[in-house]
């Protein structure tokens, strides 16, 4: 992918990198990968080698996640290396990326308007559903 937070999904098993087949791949699996990488939230789950075909081993197939797992290999899947796929079916993800908020216009370093960066632009977030729980994050 074009950033560390999007691209073909690969996992390391027995000291060897390999791809994940897109059988069973969905947004729940993408959520797990994005969370595992510290890359924000999942925006898309990709199929059919959207980011190009990998090479070598295909480690995971029939991957079924609930979205709460701490790593993609903790999801249900066929035995390691047991697959009926080719690299034309390599799975991928697009994650939101690292969100780093900033506070602008406050009287102290801990007050102000919340902004997040989207590309090269800082944008104010909408406060219609912002509550104390969200603010504590």
CA distance 59 to 12: 8
User: What's residue 1's pLDDT?
Assistant: 60
pLDDT of residue 47: 92
Sign of the CA dihedral with 11 first, then 1, 91, and 33 last:
positive
pLDDT in tens, 26-70: 999 999 999 898 888 888 899 999 999 999 999 999 999 998 898
**Fold of the 6-95 domain:** Mac-2 Binding Protein (3.10.250)
CA distance 136 to 108: 16
Domain boundaries, given as residue ranges, for the chain: 6-95, 102-136
- % residues pLDDT > 90 (the chain): 41
CA dist., res. 26 & res. 67, Å (int):
10
Q: Which residue has the higher pLDDT, 128 or 107?
A: 107
Q: Reply yes or no on whether the pLDDT at 134 is more than 80.
A: no
């Amino acid at each position: 992918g074009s950033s560390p937070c999007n691209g073909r999904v690969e996992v390391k098993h027995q000291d060897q990198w390999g791809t994940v087949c897109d059988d069973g791949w969905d947004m729940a699996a993408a959520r797990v990968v994005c969370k595992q990488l510290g890359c924000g939230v999942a925006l898309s789950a990709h199929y059919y080698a959207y980011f190009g075909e990998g090479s070598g081993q295909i480690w995971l197939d029939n991957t079924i996640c609930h979205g709460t797992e701490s790593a993609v290999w903790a999801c249900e899947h066929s035995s390691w290396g047991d697959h009926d796929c080719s690299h034309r079916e390599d799975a991928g993800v697009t994650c939101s990326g690292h969100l780093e908020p900033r506070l602008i216009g406050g009287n102290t370093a801990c007050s102000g308007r919340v902004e997040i960066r989207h590309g090269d632009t800082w944008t104010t977030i909408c406060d219609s559903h912002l509550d104390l729980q969200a603010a504590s994050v």
